Amino acid sequence: MKAKLEVLALVLGFIGLCGTITVTALPTWKVSAFIGANLIVMEELWEGLWMTCYRQIDINMQCKVYDSLLILPAELQAARGLMCASVVLVFVSLVVTVLGIKRTNWCGDNMRSKNMTLAIAGSLYLVSFLTTLIPVSWVGHSIISQFYNVVVHEAQKRELGRALYIGWATSGILLTTGIILLVRYDKRRPEEEQLYNQAYLMEEKNVPKQDTVYHPKTESSLHKQKEYV
């Protein structure tokens, strides 16, 4: 059961890595909202971190990369940096998790080093959870606030895109992975202390005591007389 939890953390970490890459690359962060007089459903606009795409029924989808970072709103500018950091963090966390599980030969039989590696991996997953949740939630809050803002024109209003839902699901997976690794670290600490105490006791048994003095056994005079006779 213990090994299965570590394997489960590896699988969830890999899913989280795929999820963060997908969310970062998808252009469907914001999609057109067909409300009011905006009834042209044959054309749909997608806005992502890197490009905008126009999707039409009779024409293939056309995408254009943003000409400048400065034309993006503040939430998309921040989402770019945070999502790129999230991808790097999840990749590093996955590598550190592989090094920290018991089945690997990393650090040999040094249980303390493996446990510290596992704790670092769990902490990195929690940080990546925040770097994924914050930009997705920030963009989602901006879309909702503008949708109910009467000052914003209906043609400029957007709805939550598919990438945001994937981002929220991915952040939940990253949070679960981090908790699993930290729980495994907490349960492996008694095993580490037990192995350390056993090694310490074995070392004490092998070291001779310096305070003891060896006294050779002297034969008694009666024994010497018997040998002479």
pLDDT at 205: 52
> How far is the C-alpha of 195 from the C-alpha of 110, rounded, in Å?
10
pLDDT at 195: 45
pLDDT at 226: 46
Side by side, which strands form the sheet with 62-65?
Answer: 62-65, 51-56, 43-47, 30-32, 158-160
pLDDT at 115: 81
Residue type at 202 in one-letter notation: M
User: Has domain 2-205 been given CATH number 1.20.140.150?
Assistant: yes
> How far is the C-alpha of 73 from the C-alpha of 79, rounded, in Å?
10
The model's pTM is 0.76
What does the H/E/C string look like for the chain? Answer: CHHHHHHHHHHHHHHHHHHHHHHHHCCCCEEECCCCCCCCCCEEEEECCCEEEEEECCCCCEEEECCCHHHCCHHHHHHHHHHHHHHHHHHHHHHHHHHHCCCCCCCCCCHHHHHHHHHHHHHHHHHHHHHHHHHHHHHHHHHHHHHCCCCCCHHHCEEECHHHHHHHHHHHHHHHHHHHHHHHHHHHHHHHHHHHHHHHHHHHHHCCCCCCCCCCCCCCHHHHHHHHC
How would you write the pLDDT of the chain (229 residues) with one tens digit per residue? 556 888 888 999 999 999 999 999 999 999 887 665 545 556 788 899 999 888 776 667 788 898 888 888 899 999 999 999 999 999 999 999 888 776 666 555 666 777 888 889 999 999 999 999 999 999 999 999 988 888 877 777 888 999 999 999 999 999 999 999 988 877 765 554 554 444 444 554 555 545 544 455 555 554 444 444 4
Closest Cα partner for 53 from 65, 41, 36, 39? Answer: 65
pLDDT at 105: 63
Domain coordinates of the chain in residue numbers? Answer: 2-205
pLDDT at 166: 95
